[in-house]
Amino acid sequence: MKNAEVARILDEIADLLDLQGVAFKPRAYRRAAQAVSSSTTPIEDLAAAGRLETLPGVGDAIAGKIAEIVETGHLTYHEELKAALPVDLFALTQVEGVGPKTAKLLYETLGIRTLSDLEEAARAGRIETVKGLGKKTQERILRGLAETRRVERRLLIGHALPLAEDLCRRLKARGPFDRLVPAGSLRRGRETIGDLDLLAISGDPRAAADAFVEMPDVQEVLAHGEKKSSVTLSGGPQVDLRIVAEPSFGAALQYFTGSKAHNIALRKRAVARGLKLNEYGLFDGADRCVAGRTETEIYQALGLPFIPPELREDEGEIAAAEKGTLPDLLTHEAIRGDLHVHTDWSDGKATLSEMVDAARTAGLSYIAITDHARFAEVVGGLRPADLERQIEAIEALNETLEDFRVLTGVEANIGPDGSLDVADRLLRRLDVVIAAVHSQFRQSREAMTKRLVRAVEHEAVRVLAHPTGRKIGERAGIDADWHAIFHAAAQSGTALECNANPIRLDLPSELARRAIGAGVRLTVGTDAHHPDHFAFLRLGVLTLRRGWARADDVLNTESADRLMPGGT
DNA sequence: GCCGTTTTCGGCCCGACTGTTTTCAGTCG
């Protein structure tokens, strides 16, 4: 039973309760669903540990229901509710324009229960015959059905970020935009992005909105107003553009950055102070605007310091802000070196000196070359003699470099028993040994924990790379007792990597936060196989910021000299 | 059903756009 499936059931309960006209409960179930789906801890683990109620919005009653789902695979309460409306509400409401009310109406008038019922009815022209619906609704449903099939997955932030930046550049060239910035989950640095949210100030909102919906790569215009427009891009995501007046820009940026949970918490805080917060500003009882131009102004008016977007998930940041204990977050500029770099000596696509040039251009002052070792399943890994030759090549290269240092290293493979595929004799000669799992991901939790603890405790291992082995949207991470691994890493002084490759972002931010809490140091590593890959650094930084990391928590914010005790 | 600067009861975020409506409901974010 995955988190997403539990969340789906809770969401459906919310919809069903909504339809019965039950007040407030639907919100409670939605909030719980949100917490379950955004938690990176498997829901079974939380259930087994009796820690379900640590999720925000999960109390006694919902915890009991989640436990029932985890144990039995279904929920009696859910099935009882469904008996009144036996339709696949979750699937139907995924269709743009169809909410719970419309789904209920369609069931009662046309007997529609499933997506295929819906499609058949829409194609046959039966939907426009329903009182309250019409031809446009029917067309919208048909388009929505096609779209629902197309957009199954969210965009990786590594793809969404350049896309949004390119979009902003092109829009500014086409229309009257005074300011134009991304907001939403992209600005919060989430690992995947659903829609792109853009926020603008314009002296001519109508012309700006026109320029937006008339872009050549727009596939469909979903909404087109002076304040809000939405389009889908061909082959791309939905993009929402909001246009606000300059005095409201901070309020709008705060609002459209989210998260929803953070905003709700903030609005409650405003209400508690006799204020009202919306996307136009913070207003007092007489409806006078007391803040709105900048985000900082709004947080201050609510008695808080500015909260960085990456922390705005309603996971303790408001309480920390209030107490003045928000972390001074890691910045991209603080990263001085990259401890995970490949070359064409193994499976990289560029030479040693090409990678060095690219790293310098990216503003780094050192890198560690960590090609794969001979492990058979890693393509083109180095044999011991190759590694010795590479060490010599790096030493020779360092002689020619000023203000830059290349560290010797290797990415050793961790075998199923926790042993490494490089001899200790060789490991001792290297500046930076990183170790990682590359196969046998499906070991039992006990075996996997033992395996990683052994690797972390190896005296030569400096960094555990891509610790969970997950690939976003492709492969779930390993099952392991992270508490035990963090403890071992803190004891041995081994750092855990946050791999910055867009499909990895591993450690995930939630585990990074736990690791920091356990006293573990982290690194950001690009795992670069190409000169362009140093651009991934900012993704790793975003992920660690979401994990509440400060510069001091991150090993490669230090100079190469400090990194190498006794080194030059 | 959850939760606490409103604290164990009594509150619970707010606005834009669309379509099908003669004044607003539904959906979305």
CA of A223 and C1' of B24: distance in angstroms?
Answer: 19
The pLDDT, as a whole number, for residue A453 is: 97
Does the CA dihedral A23-A27-A28-A29 come out positive or negative? positive
pLDDT tens digits for A157-187? 999 999 999 999 999 999 999 999 999 999 9
Interatomic CA–C1' length for residue A131 and nucleotide B21, angstroms:
11
Given pLDDT bands bounded at 50, 70 and 90, which one contains residue A212? very high
Q: Report which of A457, A459, A467 is spatially closest to residue A499, judged by C-alpha positions.
A: A467
Please report which confidence band the pLDDT of residue A494 belongs to, taking 50, 70 and 90 as the band edges.
very high
Give me the architecture of the A155-244 domain, per CATH: 2-Layer Sandwich (3.30)
Least reliable range by pLDDT among A162-166, A217-221, A557-561: A217-221
Cα–Cα distance for residue pair A193/A162, rounded to 1 Å: 12
CATH number attached to the domain at A332-563: 3.20.20.140
Q: Nearest nucleotide (C1') to the CA of residue A319?
A: B5
**Nearest alpha carbon to residue A434 among A359, A560, A530, A524:** A524
Q: Give me A2's structure tokens.
A: 């995955």
- The SS3 assignment for A218 reads strand
Look at residue A567 and tell me whether its pLDDT is greater than 50.
no
pLDDT band at A568 (very low <50, low <70, confident <90, very high): very low
Is the per-residue pLDDT at A556 higher than 90? yes
Q: Retrieve residue A554's tokens.
A: 């991150």
Amino acid at residue number A311: L
State the nearest residue by CA to the C1' of B12.
A24
Report how far residue A386's alpha carbon sits from residue A64's, in angstroms, rounded to the nearest whole number: 58
- pLDDT for A94-110, tens place per residue? 887 888 888 989 998 99
Q: What is the predicted pLDDT for the residue at A150?
A: 56
Contact (Cβ atoms closer than 8 angstroms) between residue A190 and residue A157: yes
Flag whether pLDDT at A152 surpasses 60: no
Q: For A277-305, what is the mean pLDDT?
A: 91
Mean pLDDT of chain A: 90
Residue A150 CB contacts under 8 Å (≥ 6 apart), including other chains: none
Q: Where residue A375 falls among pLDDT bands split at 50, 70, 90? A: low
Topology of the domain covering A248-323: Beta Polymerase; domain 3 (3.30.210)
Coil vs helix vs strand at A349:
coil
The 10 Å Cβ neighbour count of residue A554 is 24
Selection from A178, A238, A237, A232 nearest residue A208 by Cα: A178
Structural tokens at position A185: 């989950």
Which homologous superfamily is A3-150 in?
DNA polymerase beta, N-terminal domain-like (1.10.150.110)
- How, if at all, do strands A281-283 and A276-278 pair? antiparallel
- The domains of chain A are located at 3-150, 155-244, 248-323, 332-563
The Å distance, CA of A509 to C1' of B4, is: 28
Do A537 and A332 meet the contact criterion of CB atoms below 8 Å apart?
A: yes
Answer yes or no: is pLDDT of A246 > 80: yes
**Whole-number distance in Å between A209 CA and B18 C1':** 17
- The answer on pLDDT for A378 being more than 80 is no
pLDDT at A379 over 80: no
Query: What tokens were used for A153?
Result: 């997955």
Q: How many residues does chain A have?
A: 568
**pLDDT value at A233 more than 90:** no
Inter-residue contact A529 to A501 (CB < 8 Å): no
